[in-house]
Structure 1
Amino acid sequence: MKTIKLLTAILLAITSGTVQAQDDDQDAHTIGITIPTVLLVDIEPSAAKNITMDFTAPAEAGNPITPPTDNANLWLNYSYIPSASGETARVDVKIDALVAGLDINLSAAADAGNGGGTKGLSAGTITLTSTDQSIITAIGASYTNTGANNGHNLTYSLDVDSGTSNYANLFADTNNVTVTYTIVEN
């Protein structure tokens, strides 16, 4: 009888200890979360990416050629998630070839206010060269939304006899200049 009582007591002790070890007033588990680094840039609308800016010949001797009107049909969109806390990004721009006697100027407007996060700041108007220049700086984790009327409106203008251009260097030609935008982390 003592053996049965002893076995019963041992069994109760083991059972009650096991029950208490499985459940308590708290429990926890982990959730694995991965946030990727994102560096994406796009010029919109895609259908309007190839723009034409033609000068007009004067109708009267003694007058200069007339530059085309400014082109503000394109929008710069981007998405950015930094690789580390506190990092920022910028958008650089360059052209593949200079046009003799002519300055190609680019202006980026302030962000249109759509999307979310810390959108970048415009550098104002720059004269494009074959070396990267920053057109948008101080981009934090953000996205501009996609398409026209989102991000930064881009305006292209052509100048002759101002800045680095010189009318004396012009000659009749058709030029195709490729403009390349690159988003990079600082």
Structure 2
Amino acid sequence: MKNLSLILSLVLIFGISIVANAQKTANHNVKVGISKHALVGVSSASEIVLEPAAPTVAGEGLDFDAESTSDNSVYLQYSSIIGSSANKITVAMDGDNLPTGVSIELTATDDAGAGNGAVGKAVKGAITLSGTSEDIVTNIKNCYTGTGAGSGHQLTYTLKMGSDAKYEDLTSGNFTNTVTYTITEN
């Protein structure tokens, strides 16, 4: 009887130790997801007004070099997480036709540095806005530019009258146009 009790005790102790050893660890997988996205915006929804200065003396023409023909109050801002390639931002303008010989040029500075990551590069030089989309910022990778005035790429809109334009073709009036920025994969 003592031997039977001893054997049962050993089996019980051995069985408990196997169960105890089997439950020393447990695990499961944790999946992390980072979504691919691309968002673009401008720092202000205010309307921009560009107009040449009216003459103040009889015999003078409109002044297309006046301060009122340019505006640099808006910043282009974006956020981007790419899948494999880079993103780019294009710009196009649609709306009322401008007077013959008059155009709007757009320039963008490099990013102001308020954000983080691999922000893209602004296209150098002025772009004459039209209904055809043109690249304004290229090679955008995983980044964000920051929000608010002073963050992103500063945009300058300038009203121009071409050197070959005829003053006689100008028309008075208000011409409303919409400038659209689109972020896409390259």
TM-score range, shorter chain: 0.7 to 0.9
CA shift, 1:28, in A, is 4.4
- The aligned residue for residue 120 of structure 2 is 120
- The aligned residue for residue 43 of structure 1 is 42
CA shift, 1:37, in A, is 2.0
Structure 2: tracts of 5 or more residues without a match: none
CA shift, 1:38, in A, is 2.2
Structure 1: tracts of 5 or more residues without a match: none
Residue by residue, what CA displacement relative to the aligned partner does 1:116-141 show, whole Å, maximum 9, x if unpaired? 00111011221111011110111111
How many Å separate the matches in 2 of 1:12 and 1:35? 49
Alignment of 1:23-34 (within 5 A): 23=24, 28-34=27-33
Alignment of 1:77-156 (within 5 A): 77-82=77-82, 84=83, 86-97=84-95, 98-99=97-98, 100-124=100-124, 125-156=126-157
TM-score of the pair, normalised by structure 1: 0.85
User: Is 1:66–2:67 an aligned residue pair?
Assistant: no
How many Å separate the matches in 1 of 2:36 and 2:165? 44
Residue by residue, what CA displacement relative to the aligned partner does 1:136-167 show, whole Å, maximum 9, x if unpaired? 111111111101001000000111124xx733
For 1:55, the aligned partner's letter is: P
- The aligned residue for residue 12 of structure 2 is 11
Per mean C-alpha deviation after superposition, the further-off stretch among 96-105 and 149-158 is 96-105
For 2:9, the aligned partner's letter is: T
- The aligned residue for residue 180 of structure 1 is 180
For 2:24, the aligned partner's letter is: D
User: Helix, strand or coil for the counterpart of 1:159?
Assistant: strand
User: Is 1:54–2:55 an aligned residue pair?
Assistant: no
CA shift, 1:57, in A, is 3.4
How many Å separate the matches in 1 of 2:90 and 2:53? 31
Identity %: 33
How many Å separate the matches in 2 of 1:44 and 1:171? 32
Residue by residue, what CA displacement relative to the aligned partner does 1:2-59 show, whole Å, maximum 9, x if unpaired? 33232222212211111111116xx64433322122211111134xx20111123333
